[in-house]
Amino acid sequence: MESYAKGETEPALLEETIGVNLERTVAEFPHREALVECATGTRWTWQQLYRDVELLARGLIAAGIEKGDRVGVWSPNNARWTITQYAAANIGAILVNVNPSYRTHEFSYAMNQSGTKLLVAASSFKTSDYRAMVEETAAQNPTLERVVYLDTDDWDELIAGGEPLDADAMNRRMYALEPNEPINIQYTSGTTGYPKGATLSHRNILNNGYFTTELIGFTEQDRICIPVPFYHCFGMVMANLGCTSHGATMVIPAPGFDPGLTLDAIEQERCTAVYGVPTMFIAMQHHPSFTERDLSSLRTGIMAGSVCPVEVMKRCVNEMHMEAASIAYGMTETSPVSCQTRADDDLERRTASIGRVHPHVEIKIVDPATGETVERGQPGEFCTRGYSVMLGYWDEPDKTAEAIDADGWMHTGDLAEMREDGYCNIVGRIKDMVIRGGENIYPREIEEFLYGHPDIEDVQVIGVPDEKYGEELCAWIKLRDGAETLDADGVRAFCDGRLAHYKIPRYVMLVDEFPMTVTGKIRKVQMREESAAKLGLTGTGHGRGGATAGTS
C-alpha cells in the first residue's frame, strides 16, 4: 500500500474570518472566563476581552493602519500580545510575529522584509532591551512609523486615539474581510541564510487551531495552560485560536517558560490541558516539587516541537493525569499541524508515532530523489496538501516555488515513515541524516534507544566530521541528578550487541543544556560546530544542517 492518506471531512472547515469566529464565541459565552494572566492576576470574560480587542482595533485604525498593513509584535507572552493578535485580525492588518530572542540584525531584517508600519513591543525582558534595540536600528527601518511599548503609557495613548471613532469602525473592516486573505507573517528559523516569512491566512490558522483542539475534545469547559510562546504557531494558533474557536479559557502562566510557574498555574487555575515541547515537560517532571503537585484537573494537552521521548509521554499520562494527551506534528508553513494522535488512541500510538493525517488534509511520503510515493514502511520526505498550506513566503515567490510544488504539495524536508495503520513516524531531517561510510543513519533512532539508559535524562545525537568515514556520531548527553558520570566507553557498553556497530556513537559529550531556539527546537547546526571545535575534528563531512523534526 502506498504511503498516502487523506483526513476526515467532518466537521466542515470554518469558512469565516478570525474576527467573525471570535464574535460568535463572545455571543455564546459572554460571561465565561476567556483569559487569565497569572503574572498580574488579571482576568477577562469573553465580553470584557472583546471590548479590549475592539478598543485596540479602533486605536489601530485611528493610527492609520489600513487593511493589509503590517503590524509587528515583539514581546514575551502577556495578555496584550493576545489582544493585539485579535485586534489586528479584526481590521485586516497582517500581524508580524517577531521572535523575542531576536537581536538587532534579525529584528531589522524582519521589519524591512515585511515592511512593518507599526510595532507593538515590550520595553525589555530578561537580557533583551527591546527599546534600546529599536532605537539603535531606527535608521535601518524606514517603513516603521510608530512603536508602541505595551507596558507604558504608549498603550493607553494608542487606545485613546481611537475613542473619537464611531462604535462600528471595527465591524465595517471586519465584515469586509475574506477568509483566504493574509493575516499573519511568521519567520521560520532557517539553518542557513535569512529566515523566510511564512504568510498565513484566516482560513489557514483559524481552522488549524480549531481542529487541533477538536481532536482533544475541547469545549467551553476547558482551561489551557499556555507556556509555549505566542510568537510561534504553537501559542497563537494551537492555543489561542483553539480556545477562541471553542470558548475555552486561555491561561498565561508567565511571560517566558518557567517549570515551577507553569505547575503553579495548572494547580491554581485548575487547568484541564497544558501545551509544551518535550523539554518543557521534562523540566516540569524534574522540578523538585513535581511529586507534591495536585495536577488532577489535567485531562489532556499537546506535545509538539520535536519528537517526543517515549518515557516522557508515559509520565505525562501516568503522573500528570493527561490520559488524553496528544502528539502533534507540523511546521509553520502548514499552520502548523498536519498529523496528530487522537484522544482515544492507545498508548503505543500516542508514544511511538506523530499520529495520523489531520482533518481536511492530505499527506504522502515520497522518495526525495524521484518524487514518487513510497510504499508504507519505507522512509521518504513528508509532503502535505490542503487548506493548511501557507499562501507563500512573503515577497519571495522563488522560495515559495521551491517549497510548494505545482500540485500544491508542501515539501517539508522531514524524513518520515507511514505505518500500515496510517500513523507516521519522523525519522529525521533530510539534511539531518548522518552518512557514515555509506550507511544512512537516522539520529532519532539512536536517541530513542539511549533514553532507555537509567542515567540519561536527555540526549541528542549529531554527525561530526571524520577523515575516514566522512561523518561519525557524537551524543550530547544530560545526566539525571545523582547519576554516575558516563563516557564513550559506558555508552558503547550499553549499545553493544543491541545496536549495529555503525550506529554506536564514537564521541560522548556531557552537557547541562542543549543550544535551543526560543520554541524549544534543538539547534543541531550549533551543536555540530561546537562539537567539531571541542573535539578538534576536521574532515569533509556533509555540511548537513537542520533541526529535529517537529512543529517549527
pLDDT in tens, 54-86: 999 999 999 999 999 999 999 999 999 999 999
Grid coordinates of 334: 502548514
- The pLDDT of residue 130 is above 50: yes
State residue 347's pLDDT score: 81
**Range with the lowest mean pLDDT among 71-80, 230-239, 382-391, 502-511?**
502-511
Does residue 505 have a pLDDT over 90?
Answer: yes
pLDDT of residue 51: 98
Is 265 a domain residue?
A: no
Position 495 in a domain: yes
Q: DSSP 3-state assignment of 73?
A: strand
Residue that the C-alpha cell 483569559 belongs to: 35
Residues 278 and 368: their CA atoms lie apart, in Å, by 28
Mean pLDDT, residues 288-300 taken together: 97
Hey, what's the cell of 333? 508553513
More confident of the two residues 461 and 468: 461
In a domain, 85, yes or no: yes
Residue 428 — very low, low, confident or very high, per pLDDT cuts 50/70/90? Answer: confident
More confident of the two residues 415 and 78: 78
Percent of the chain with pLDDT strictly greater than 90: 77
Q: 525 versus 224: which is more confidently predicted? A: 224
Cα–Cα separations (whole angstroms), residue 449 to 249, 306, 371: 38, 16, 31
Domain end marker among 127, 161, 178:
178
Specify the higher pLDDT residue, 90 or 499.
Answer: 90
Q: Which of 163, 178, 193 is the last residue of a domain?
A: 178
Residue 511 resides in a domain? yes
d(CA 353, CA 475): 23
C-alpha cell of 251?
491561561
The share of the chain scoring above pLDDT 70, in percent, equals: 95
Nearest to 169 by CA among 179, 180, 161: 161
**If you average pLDDT over residues 296-312, what whole number do you get?**
86
Per-residue pLDDT for 199 more than 80? yes
Query: What is d(CA 41, CA 82) in angstroms, rounded to the nearest whole number?
Result: 16
Q: Hey, what amino acid is at 154?
A: D
Indicate whether 541 pLDDT > 60.
Answer: no
What pLDDT is attached to residue 542?
36
CATH number of the domain encompassing residue 479: 3.30.300.30
Least confident of 233-242, 256-265, 325-334, 342-351: 342-351
Least confidently predicted of 33-37, 213-217, 500-504: 500-504
Q: Does position 504 have pLDDT exceeding 80, yes or no?
A: yes
CA gap 338, 126 in Å, rounded: 34
| Measured distance CA(5)–CA(356) in Å, rounded | 8
Domain presence at residue 486: yes
Give residue 546's pLDDT band: very low, low, confident or very high (50, 70, 90). Answer: very low
Question: What is the DSSP pairing of strand 326-330 with strand 300-303?
Answer: parallel
pLDDT value at residue 518: 61
- Residue 163 pLDDT exceeds 80: yes
For residue 415, list its beta bridge partners: 381, 428
What's the confidence (pLDDT) of residue 426?
85
pLDDT at 539: 54
Query: Can you read off the three cell numbers belonging to residue 510?
Result: 556531557
Long-range Cβ pairs for the range 485-494 (8 Å, 24+): 485/510, 486/453, 486/455, 486/456, 486/510, 491/450, 491/453, 494/450, 494/453
Continuous segment of H or E residues that includes residue 94: strand 94-97
Cell of 336: 502548523
pLDDT in tens, 364-394: 999 988 999 999 999 999 999 999 999 999 9
Q: Are 363 and 419 in contact (CB under 8 A)?
A: no
Q: For the chain, first and last CA: distance in Å?
A: 29
- For helices 46-62 and 18-28, angle between their N-to-C axes, nearest 10 degrees: 150
Flag the least confident range among 13-27, 66-80, 233-247, 422-436. Answer: 422-436
Specify the pLDDT at position 552. 30
Domain stops at, among 118, 147, 178: 178
Q: Is residue 28 part of a domain?
A: yes
| Residue 508: per-residue pLDDT | 94
For residue 534, pLDDT beyond 50: yes
Q: What is the CATH number of the domain that holds 74?
A: 3.40.50.980
Burial of 208 (0-12, 13-18, 19+ CB in 10 A): buried
Q: Is the pLDDT of residue 430 over 80?
A: no
Per DSSP (E only), the strands in 131-253 are 146-149, 182-188, 196-201, 223-225, 249-252
CB 105: neighbour CB atoms within 10 A?
Answer: 11
Residue 486 belongs to what domain range?
A: 432-535
Identity of the amino acid at 441 = I
Give the number of domains in the chain: 2
Q: Which range has highest mean pLDDT (260-274, 306-320, 335-349, 449-463)?
A: 260-274
Residue 477 counted as domain residue: yes
Quote the strand ranges of 405-545, DSSP E: 410-418, 424-429, 434-436, 439-441, 456-466, 470-479, 507-510
Q: Is residue 163 part of a domain?
A: yes
